[in-house]
DNA sequence: TTGTACGCGTTATCAA
DNA sequence: TTGATAACGCGTACAA
């Protein structure tokens, strides 16, 4: 921040009061048109930029939204941020972006700085490692508006926008079941993260509905990344032949990619020996040797909806806290054993294997 | 921004002055340890969060870096932003993120709000459509520090951090030439963007060095996207057979992907009929049917270097304005006609075709 | 070690 | 339509 021209500078050179200058610049109707023109001209001439900091201090509003993401480079987040930016820009807000790097302490520090910077609200997606949410309670109690997106914390007085994880996992598992597979494994994420838990629930519900028995041995933790998926799949492949899964439902696409690598390295074919499906429709999914059947998450829409909800909370005291859900779409490709339907998006292919 | 506890609140409940509270909270040594403990305890008890806005107003520094990107979802930018975040976080700054959507007017508006919000400096990558940079001149003249990254504006009093585009384009073109190809086309970007111009220059320099003649017919504009690459390649394929290129150097990977699609649709093989190389090492490059030979851009490093340079400018008046260059790496894959070397990264394969 | 006075740049409020 | 004054919450400079 360097020395700048102020309202007072303009007022002095024009021999009028600061207030008149302020009013002229803010399109206040109670200003003579001649004076307004004069002020506008002089302001431009002097290179005046309003000091938004000073204004924020007076009006106790910063027009700023704090955003907390766990990992900017996860394909989901750039799209979500773009959606957020689109909405807040139109509403006259700006984004303060923070990155927790999946680290709880950094996330807490981020929330604290955002609170100190008096953002009008926070859009947050929590880190994998989070186990307690005291800091969110604290800022929410202070009256700061929080809306979670994608990875939510529930029952804490904040709205949440996410995809219907449980239902989506149910649907893709159901799709797999309809292929006739009986031994189906699940690579699950860390259960401290809401989406991991819900996808697991959806997986289980589908098995129950179709009365497929399963042992807990077929549910292994992979985390959200390729390496974890690879390791988890290796463990499954290390099972006695009879217990090995015929199909795998992965918690997300990266985990599925890792698993596919492990399957390949074991000399097995996808989907002939082992079918697999992912979750998220990563940009790489359709380019895999066996293009990956997966769930498309509308990240951009999630970002937009979350931003809209947050702004509603900010601008309307009585906006109700609620959990919003954004529809996903099943993307059918070869990895599940389907013939690819013409548009690759049919939801009802039933292929026996 | 909601009602909050202030220094004065703490001071009053403790019957001491605001200044003592301020000093205690800021680890000023001139405070009795007993008082400090008392203050710290009470601050926590009351849920005090320092008002960074008020502080910024007094000290005329916001500890905020404005970031302007043309398109958050371009694979380059999330990585670059992550690098930026890493550095500014360590240095005690936060990021205000804006997105121009490749639109000049939005970019100008973004710079203006960032200036109003009194950010300490700006990291900017300009939009494709930009033709004049008056707004940057203006804020730089005001004393705002600007560092461009990736897409730069030169000779305007701002540092720039980018990859060595000209040299990288030269190297990858040279690589293609060494395969023995004679008729080599270039899909170029919009010349108003610095990187497009420089890559074209590198391409030309390589042809000159190896005395390869070329007609301007083989340099066609594709823009930076897949559709443009597709259309541009179709134009090349529409040329009389004799004039058609045997190899193509694309301005970036998405353009190359589009071109590859056009080549496929024309019933030609890559690299047997037409070899092609890209630029940027998009995450999809190695997954293409013919894995794409390309130039790897260290986006994360570019972001870090740009952030470091900006902070140096902010914190050290005499930091010199300069253009920094980050090294790229040639990534050799099949699309250029190479046998793939063991690690996929050799720089000196020479294969005749 | 602690406290007082003032100012940062703006808007709200009330008076003219 | 315009202006004077106070206030936002904090740090600087100086005094005690």
Cross-chain residue pair A2–B143, CB shorter than 8 Å: yes
CA distance linking residue A279 with residue A262, whole number of Å:
18
Q: Does position B345 have pLDDT exceeding 50, yes or no?
A: no
Q: What would the two tokens of residue A336 be?
A: 């599940």
Interface test with A, best of B7, B50, B53 (most A CBs within 10 A): B53
Cross-chain residue pair B142–A82, CB shorter than 8 Å: no
User: Phi/psi of residue B68, each to 5°?
Assistant: -120, 115
Gap from B136 CA to D7 C1', Å: 35
Residue range A128-150: average pLDDT? Answer: 92
Residue A97 in contact with partner chain B when CB distance is under 8 A: yes
Task: Check residue A349 and give its pLDDT.
Answer: 30
Q: Does position B336 have pLDDT exceeding 60, yes or no?
A: yes
Q: How many CB pairs under 8 A join A and B?
A: 137
Gap from B100 CA to D10 C1', Å: 34
Residue of B nearest to A56 (CA): B53
Residue range B230-240: average pLDDT? Answer: 96
CA distance linking residue A173 with residue A156, whole number of Å:
31
Cite residues whose beta carbon is less than 7 Å from strand C: A 3-4, 6-8, 18-19, 22, 25-26, 50-51, 54-55, 57-59; B 16-20, 23, 29-32, 35, 54, 57-58, 60
Q: List b or e across A104-113, with b for residues whose CB sees 16 or more CB atoms inside 10 angstroms.
A: bebbbebbeb
| Number of neighbouring beta carbons within 10 Å of residue A282 | 23
Cβ(B93)–Cβ(B63) below 8 Å = yes
Enter the pTM of the model: 0.89
Interface of B with A in 144-173 (CB under 8 A): 144
Residue nearest to nucleotide C11 (CA to C1'): A58
| Number of neighbouring beta carbons within 10 Å of residue A209 | 12
Sheet containing strand A145-149, strands side by side: A323-326, A159-163, A145-149, A121-124, A64-69, A94-99, B94-99, B64-69, B121-124, B145-149, B159-163, B323-326
Residue of A nearest to B62 (CA): A1
3-state secondary structure of A274: coil
Cross-chain residue pair A143–B3, CB shorter than 8 Å: yes
Distances (CA, A) of B261 to A343, B223, B249, B272: 18, 16, 15, 15
Cross-chain residue pair B51–A116, CB shorter than 8 Å: yes
* Nearest nt to the A30 alpha carbon by C1': D1
Gap from A63 CA to C9 C1', Å: 17
Q: Does position A240 have pLDDT exceeding 70, yes or no?
A: yes
Q: What would the two tokens of residue A70 be?
A: 């766990």
Please tell me the distance in Å from A286's CA to the nearest CA on chain B.
Answer: 9
Q: Does position A345 have pLDDT exceeding 90, yes or no?
A: no
Interface of B with A in 59-88 (CB under 8 A): 60-62, 64, 67, 72-73, 77-79, 81-82, 85-86
CA distance linking residue B266 with residue B273, whole number of Å:
11
Residue range A188-196: average pLDDT? Answer: 92
Exposed/middle/buried for A351, CB within 10 Å: 0-12, 13-18, 19+? middle
Residue of A nearest to B66 (CA): A96
Residue range A37-47: average pLDDT? Answer: 95
Look at the alpha carbons of B12, B15, B19, B24 in this order and tell me if their dihedral is positive or negative: negative
What share of chain B in percent tops pLDDT 70?
95
Task: Check residue B339 and give its pLDDT.
Answer: 66
- Non-local (6+) Cβ contacts of B349 within 8 A are B175, B332, B338, B339, B341
CA distance linking residue A112 with residue B42, whole number of Å:
18
Q: Does position A341 have pLDDT exceeding 90, yes or no?
A: no
CA distance linking residue B178 with residue B293, whole number of Å:
14
Task: Check residue B317 and give its pLDDT.
Answer: 83
Confidence of residue B136 (pLDDT cuts 50, 70, 90): very high
Residue A142 in contact with partner chain B when CB distance is under 8 A: yes
Residue B121: its H or E element = strand B121-124
Using alpha carbons, select from A335, A33, A326 the residue that is nearest to residue A163. A326
CA distance linking residue A120 with residue A310, whole number of Å:
9
* Nearest nt to the A36 alpha carbon by C1': D1
Q: Does position B85 have pLDDT exceeding 50, yes or no?
A: yes
Q: A335-339, B51-55, B139-143: which has the highest mean pLDDT?
A: B51-55
How many residues comprise chain A?
A: 353
Residue nearest to nucleotide D7 (CA to C1'): A58
Residue A143 in contact with partner chain B when CB distance is under 8 A: yes
Cross-chain residue pair B53–A57, CB shorter than 8 Å: yes
Per the prediction, chain B carries an average pLDDT of 92
């Amino acid at each position: 921040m360097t020395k700048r021209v102020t309202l007072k500078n303009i007022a002095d050179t024009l021999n009028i009061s600061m207030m008149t200058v302020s009013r002229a610049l803010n399109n206040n109707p109670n200003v003579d048109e001649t004076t307004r023109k004069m002020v506008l001209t002089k302001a431009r001439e002097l290179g005046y930029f309003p000091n938004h900091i000073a204004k924020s201090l007076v009006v106790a509003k910063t027009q700023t939204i704090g955003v907390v993401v766990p990992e900017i480079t996860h394909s989901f987040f750039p799209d979500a941020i773009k959606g957020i930016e689109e909405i807040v820009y139109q509403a006259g807000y700006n984004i303060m972006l923070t990155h927790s790097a999946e680290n709880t302490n950094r996330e807490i520090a981020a929330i604290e700085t955002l609170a100190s910077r008096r953002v009008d609200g926070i859009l947050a997606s929590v880190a994998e490692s989070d186990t307690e949410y005291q800091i969110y309670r604290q800022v929410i109690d202070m009256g700061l508006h929080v809306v979670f997106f994608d990875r939510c914390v529930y029952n804490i007085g904040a709205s949440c926008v996410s995809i219907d994880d449980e239902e989506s996992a149910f649907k893709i598992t159901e799709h797999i079941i309809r292929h006739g597979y009986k031994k189906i494994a699940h690579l699950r994420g860390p259960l401290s993260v809401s989406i991991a838990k819900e996808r697991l629930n959806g997986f289980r519900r589908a098995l129950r509905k179709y009365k497929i028995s399963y042992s807990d041995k077929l549910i292994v933790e992979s985390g959200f990344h390729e390496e974890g998926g690879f390791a988890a799949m290796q463990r499954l492949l290390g099972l006695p032949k009879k217990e090995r899964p015929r199909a795998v439902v992965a918690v997300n696409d990266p985990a599925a990619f890792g698993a596919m690598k492990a399957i390949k390295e074991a000399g097995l074919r996808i989907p002939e020996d082992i079918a697999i499906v992912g979750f998220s429709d990563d940009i790489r999914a359709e380019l895999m040797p066996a293009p990956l059947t997966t769930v498309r998450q509308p990240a951009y829409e999630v970002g937009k909806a979350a931003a809209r909800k947050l702004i509603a909370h900010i601008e309307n005291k009585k906006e109700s806290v609620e959990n919003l859900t954004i529809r996903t779409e099943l993307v059918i490709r070869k990895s599940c054993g389907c013939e690819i339907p013409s548009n690759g998006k049919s939801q009802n292919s039933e292929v026996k294997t």
